[in-house]
Amino acid sequence: GRSALRVQAVAEAERPTAAKSSASAEPVTHDITSKLKYLFGRNGDYTNADAYQGTAWSVREKLIDSFNKTHEHWKKEDPKFIYYLSAEFLMGRSLTNTVYNLGIEGEYGAALRDLGYQMEKVADAERDAALGNGGLGRLAACFLDSMATLDLPGWGYGIRYKYGMFKQGLKNGYQVEMPDIWLTKGNPWEVKRDDIKFEVGFGGRVERKKVNGKEMTVWTPSEKVVAQAYDNPIPGYATPTTSNLRLWDAVPIHEFDLGAFNAGDYDRAMLERERAEGISAVLYPNDSTPEGKELRLKQQYFFVCASLQDVMSRFRAVHGSNWEALPEKACFQLNDTHPTIAVAELMRLLVDVEGLEWDAAWTITTKCLNYTNHTVMPEALEKWPVKVMAKMLPRHMEIIEVINEGWTKWLGVHLKDLKSEERAQKIAAMSIIHANPWNADEMLVNMAYLAVVGSSAVNGVAAIHSNIVKDEILNDFYQIFPSKFQNKTNGVTPRRWLAWCNPELAALITEALGSSEWINDTEKLAGLRAFASDPAFQAKWSAVKKAKKAKLAELIKKIHGDDVNQNALFDIQIKRIHEYKRQYLNVLSIIWRYKQLKKMTPEQRKAAVPRVCVIGGKAASAYDMAKRIIRLVTAVGDVINKDPETKDYLRLYFLPDYNVSLAETIIPAAELSQHISTAGTEASGTSNMKFQMNGCLIIGTWDGANIEIAEETGVENVFVFGVRAEEINQLRKDRKNFKTDPRWDELMKDIEGGMFGDKDYFKPLVDSVNNMKVGNDWFLLANDFAGYLAAQEEVDATYKDQSEWLRRSIMYTAGSGKFSSDRTIREYAEDIWHVKPARPSA
Ligand code: H53
């Protein structure tokens, strides 16, 4: 059965020798070995990687049982579904999450022990499913976990990339990128649906024709591919519900172009295959910056087209062509602008294929769709050239033109009280199709505008961000549709990001609170506040942190060969490398710390708080500045980690190939984490929430979800510094009048002068922030530098008082209840989706 998880079991599973009833483990042991025998032809003498395969293929069957039960139930009940359309799902590993969510970790842990293995090591053999870049993709994965846990009928829809996020290596301290070949050993977590395939077309021509006496538009694509479905079951926690992530693989229409093959034109026959497979081949490695590549638009249309057809075909099977009722049975969440072509595609399917009148189709479309904006940077919103769209999706371009005509006409009426010139300006500013501001000859389709016009609800992802969306980015639209705009502060799943990645802390929390109910009711974590100042509890809390630090130290040793001081403050910044996230500012403060240590006498140094600084994150392959920042981190690390005078007090390590599973090791070990984006630039951030849950103190700016985290934790417990979002426009304008701190000037000279070598390579980095003219230092590092150093001093002072530090640490976890994605998903379900739980019987 699927019992509610007892954290006691988690703690027990951790102990390698804990003798649990092997009677219950025996059938599982047998199942694992027979999987190895009959699926892989193996007989004994297994590696951890083998044990992983056997275990995963065995667990898969339990997962599918649960999946089938859930979907039988949903089929019978026919509830309204939410479909989460996302170009990215950053799932990470599945084994641990699956056994814990299904409540079968006890049996499987025991079975593996009987076979002589440890679950943790076996789980470590799994490759991450890295079908996403960063925050946006991981958010989608957390949302799936919460939707299933809350029994909400809902699926994710996306692309089954053959190559996910690239693997990052370091060569002489520079980033190198390697392909993520993640499917070579098979994927036990997916089910290929040979019966679920849809055609997706591109290019070609559009004609008006009489079909059965009715004037219709017929699109004849010049190129077609098939979208092949793969289902990835998503187990909820402490519920029989297992939902689904359906990913599409692009395959050729004809296995071979037989005509060409018979004529001996082998190359041409293979071309179709290559072209089709190219669509789902690789994830674009960009995070929060658009990649205006045609293939990217093709990917977007590919998965949206297949997903909409799939939903409509299931609807048709039950409700026939009663499309007016579609919004009562289905709604879609557009995760950023990436799936926005859905607005035009749903119109096309309803009007051209199903024969509905335009206005009826428009009502249905706008009722079904909702849009989440995830970025404040206007240049990061997708805009596709009309030329590209018209060539690749000629019918969609027409539809968008008609939508825009109707929209601008409606605006004209709505704004009739404005003076005609002003009205014309407003309409031009809100037109979905507009000229490229940098190239007046080029017309663009603004995908965010299309999404807003085509949706019922538009939301931002943290309070400050939603306000910026309303007041700046989409202000014109907000003026017209104030009630469309909402906030849904992001969240993370407390299963993966606390209970499963930190079972020791989970066990302690459960012991203190007297139950493990907090795992799906995180508001209960507030009960920890009562223990925050209790010395005995602090001692236990600290012991867990120490154990997790030891694990991270082991990892650093494995990667860099160095032993680090485990009593040092573990100071972490892990996220995509981006100028707005300001890893550079972090490095500058580390250099400053190093220089201070160098000036001290050995006695003075002994009084300093030792730190182990860790930075990790990938740079988009074409993002030159980000790559230089990585090199600066490694170069500074090379100098300070070897310096015999200071190396006991300060280290800096770059951990390559930061991904979900690495985060699961790093976050529980962190004591201080850095979220130091320029105020008003990070839409939300979600790793900040994961650190908070794990009792890690935050040094951060007044930005994104940091603000709400500080409010929940007590602002006085957070190291806040820096300018406020309202100030940045003015500060940017005043750039040339800004007087830099003398310490800043010194650091710039150090880097420029070659203190860390590679001075030519670092020159553009120095120039990007150090030349006090308008436009330089766009992210205001110089403005925040002094405040940041002061906040760092406060960190040191607080760390010296361990009981105060531990009190704060407990207060962080206690204040993290709001940041469960269960809360976020409940809000989406109630305020936007209007979907209700539908739990199958156990
Ligand atoms: O989305 C996260 C936010 C984070 C934001 C991130 C994001 C991407 O990862 C990619 C594209 C994009 O527009 C935004 O940068 O602040 O927490 C989830 O909402």
The reply to whether 142 falls in a domain is yes
The reply to whether 2 falls in a domain is yes
- Measured in Å, residue 670 CA sits from the centre of ligand 1 at 22
- Residue count of the chain, please give it: 842
Tell me, yes or no, whether 534 and 562 share the same domain.
yes
Tell me, yes or no, whether 137 and 159 share the same domain.
yes
- Measured in Å, residue 138 CA sits from the centre of ligand 1 at 9
- Please list the residues that pair with 332 across neighbouring strands: 83, 369
617 C-beta closer than 6 A to ligand 1: no
Q: Which atom of ligand 1 is nearest to the CA of 465?
A: 16
Selected catalytic residue, list 634, 686, 701, 713? 686
134 C-beta closer than 6 A to ligand 1: yes
What CA–CA distance (Å, rounded) separates 781 from 779?
Answer: 6
- Measured in Å, residue 822 CA sits from the centre of ligand 1 at 19
- Measured in Å, residue 376 CA sits from the centre of ligand 1 at 9
The reply to whether 362 falls in a domain is yes
290 C-beta closer than 6 A to ligand 1: no
CB contact burial 169-195 (16+ within 10 A = b; e otherwise): ebeebebeeeebebeeeebbbbbeeee
The reply to whether 840 falls in a domain is no
The reply to whether 434 falls in a domain is yes
464 C-beta closer than 6 A to ligand 1: no
The reply to whether 841 falls in a domain is no
Selected catalytic residue, list 690, 732, 818, 823? 690
What CA–CA distance (Å, rounded) separates 551 from 120?
Answer: 12
620 C-beta closer than 6 A to ligand 1: no
Tell me, yes or no, whether 375 and 257 share the same domain.
yes
139 C-beta closer than 6 A to ligand 1: yes
Closest alpha carbon to 606 in 618, 595, 597: 597
Instruction: Return the best residue to mutate from 288, 383, 466 for the ligand 1 pocket (most ligand atoms within 8 A of CB).
Output: 288
Selected catalytic residue, list 93, 576, 578, 628? 576
Cα separation values, 626 from 571, 578, 579, 722, 775, Å? 21, 6, 7, 22, 18
What CA–CA distance (Å, rounded) separates 175 from 626?
Answer: 10
- Measured in Å, residue 489 CA sits from the centre of ligand 1 at 12
Residue nearest to atom 18 of ligand 1 (CA): 136
Helix 394-414 and helix 358-368, axial crossing angle in degrees, nearest 10:
90
288 C-beta closer than 6 A to ligand 1: yes
Tell me, yes or no, whether 500 and 475 share the same domain.
no
Per DSSP, 497 falls in state: I
What DSSP line would sit under 504-539, residue for residue?
HHHHHHHHHHTSSGGGT-GGGGGGGGGGTT-HHHHH
- Measured in Å, residue 247 CA sits from the centre of ligand 1 at 21
Angle ∠(503,553,719) on CA atoms, nearest 5: 75
Residue nearest to atom 11 of ligand 1 (CA): 288
- Measured in Å, residue 465 CA sits from the centre of ligand 1 at 11
CATH of the domain at 723: 3.40.50.2000
Look at residue 12 in the predicted model and tell me its pLDDT.
39
Domain count, the chain: 3
Residue 142 burial class via C-beta count within 10 angstroms: exposed 0-12, middle 13-18, buried 19 and up: buried
The reply to whether 629 falls in a domain is yes
Known active-site residue 434: no
What CA–CA distance (Å, rounded) separates 667 from 658?
Answer: 12
E strand segments, 543-623? 569-574, 611-616
Alpha helices (H) along 696-758: 706-713, 728-733, 742-752
86 C-beta closer than 6 A to ligand 1: no
- Measured in Å, residue 623 CA sits from the centre of ligand 1 at 17
Pairing of strands 330-335, 369-372: parallel
- Measured in Å, residue 724 CA sits from the centre of ligand 1 at 20
What DSSP line would sit under 54-108, residue for residue?
HHHHHHHHHHHHHHHHHHHHHHHH---EEEEE-S-EEEE--HHHHHHHHT-HHHH
- Measured in Å, residue 633 CA sits from the centre of ligand 1 at 24
Selected catalytic residue, list 138, 246, 383, 575? 575
Tell me, yes or no, whether 715 and 801 share the same domain.
yes
Instruction: Return the best residue to mutate from 84, 88, 90, 136 for the ligand 1 pocket (most ligand atoms within 8 A of CB).
Output: 136
Q: Which atom of ligand 1 is nearest to the CA of 134?
A: 9
Pairing of strands 697-700, 205-211: unpaired
490 C-beta closer than 6 A to ligand 1: yes
E strand segments, 293-438? 330-335, 369-372, 383-385, 433-436
Look at residue 735 in the predicted model and tell me its pLDDT.
87
718 C-beta closer than 6 A to ligand 1: no
Give the residue carrying structure tokens 């229409």.
253
Residue nearest to atom 1 of ligand 1 (CA): 136
- Measured in Å, residue 136 CA sits from the centre of ligand 1 at 4
Residue 498 burial class via C-beta count within 10 angstroms: exposed 0-12, middle 13-18, buried 19 and up: buried
469 C-beta closer than 6 A to ligand 1: no
Tell me, yes or no, whether 240 and 114 share the same domain.
no
State which H helix or E strand residue 467 sits in.
Answer: helix 463-468
Known active-site residue 690: yes
3-state helix, strand, coil in the chain (%, to 5): 55, 15, 30
Do 616 and 583 touch, CB atoms closer than 8 A? no
Tell me, yes or no, whether 466 and 614 share the same domain.
no
Instruction: Return the best residue to mutate from 89, 90, 165, 375 for the ligand 1 pocket (most ligand atoms within 8 A of CB).
Output: 375
Q: Which atom of ligand 1 is nearest to the CA of 704?
A: 16
493 C-beta closer than 6 A to ligand 1: no
State which H helix or E strand residue 166 sits in.
Answer: none
Known active-site residue 17: no
Q: Which atom of ligand 1 is nearest to the CA of 336?
A: 13
- Measured in Å, residue 301 CA sits from the centre of ligand 1 at 21
Could you list the residue range(s) of the whole structural domain that residue 579 is in?
A: 494-819
682 C-beta closer than 6 A to ligand 1: yes
Tell me, yes or no, whether 502 and 485 share the same domain.
no
285 C-beta closer than 6 A to ligand 1: no
Instruction: Return the best residue to mutate from 300, 374, 689 for the ligand 1 pocket (most ligand atoms within 8 A of CB).
Output: 374
375 C-beta closer than 6 A to ligand 1: yes
- Report, in angstroms and rounded to the nearest whole number, the Rg of the chain calculated over CA atoms: 28
Encoding tokens for residue 582? Answer: 């300001």
Look at residue 258 in the predicted model and tell me its pLDDT.
64
Tell me, yes or no, whether 611 and 725 share the same domain.
yes
Tell me, yes or no, whether 153 and 173 share the same domain.
yes
The reply to whether 204 falls in a domain is yes
685 C-beta closer than 6 A to ligand 1: yes
Q: Which atom of ligand 1 is nearest to the CA of 286?
A: 10
Residue nearest to atom 17 of ligand 1 (CA): 685
- Measured in Å, residue 137 CA sits from the centre of ligand 1 at 8
Per DSSP, 469 falls in state: I
Do 241 and 62 touch, CB atoms closer than 8 A? no
Look at residue 22 in the predicted model and tell me its pLDDT.
41
704 C-beta closer than 6 A to ligand 1: yes
- Measured in Å, residue 583 CA sits from the centre of ligand 1 at 17
- Measured in Å, residue 446 CA sits from the centre of ligand 1 at 19
Query: Coil, strand or helix: which one is 219?
Result: strand
88 C-beta closer than 6 A to ligand 1: no
Query: What one-letter code names the amino acid at 125?
Result: A
382 C-beta closer than 6 A to ligand 1: no
Instruction: Return the best residue to mutate from 88, 138, 287 for the ligand 1 pocket (most ligand atoms within 8 A of CB).
Output: 287
Ranges in the chain, pLDDT < 70: 1-23, 255-258, 260-261
Tell me, yes or no, whether 371 and 270 share the same domain.
yes
Known active-site residue 419: no
Selected catalytic residue, list 581, 593, 631, 732? 581
What CA–CA distance (Å, rounded) separates 833 from 146?
Answer: 15
**Phi, psi for residue 619 in degrees, rounded to 5:** -105, 135
Tell me, yes or no, whether 773 and 691 share the same domain.
yes
